[in-house]
Chains A and B, each alone.
Chain A
Amino acid sequence: MPPPVPDETELSNIHRVLAGDASAFRSVVLKYGDRVLSFCRSRAASEEEAEDLAQETFLRAFRSLGSYRLGTSFAAWLFAIAANRVRTRWARLSFDKRKKDRLKIEAGAARANDPEDEALRNLQAEAIRSAAAGLPADLRSAVELYYFAELSVAECAAVLGVGEEAVKSRLFRARKKLRIALESSNPNGSEGV
């Protein structure tokens, strides 16, 4: 199944931007902002860095909009840019800094002043990101695009340059590993079943 193509409103916004109406790009950011942020958080060392990456992604997308091929999935095109931004930034950071920043996030989540359920959700989100980070590279990419960026299987296939069956296979294998990792990470309490 081919990736879904943009609807008429989205196409209209893209045409307006290409015609010189930069303000129309705001609708594009609003539509994909949450998903791009979620995707960037999967590799970012902090919330600030995730937002920086998301901004860079949209700025790059704006500049490169002329290369988007109408009639294909805009989401797949956009997240290919996001993946490259994340990969570039990730490579620049030293392992030590990533580890240090990651510990800072975990500590922050643990002592959050938010209501208890929100703190729990933060811890769960961190556990999910950590579990995904422990996956082999091919499985991790599929999980990040599917679960964090919320792309369809077809869009994941487009971004990764593989077939849909390969994406499904990666997600299947990833879920098995994620379940083991998540059930043992126990950020939700100290008791077991």
Chain B
Amino acid sequence: MSTPVNATDASFATDVLAAEGTVVVDFWAEWCHPCRQMSPILDEIAEAHPELKVVKVDVDENPAVTMEYRITGIPAFKIFQGGKEVGEIVGAMPKPVFEDQLAPFLD
């Protein structure tokens, strides 16, 4: 099983861009209620998919990557493969819906 990693502006390149396989980055904030609802769902998905790396970025603390990836609403999830952004999932949603949207990026 894998547990989510907290990435920062400084560690984003290592934690996300240099990572092998598929990475899901969860952009969130403490004050974002829907983000708090999605957090346990992401934990469950991380647990169910050991091949997937789940990374969390607190947008309050990490303005540089938040700006760079043009986050204008949270929760927002960006999917990376080989250091490239390959997809995104925006908004809070039930777990089955999230899994459906994530499925194309999983082998």
Asked if A and B bind, the verdict is no
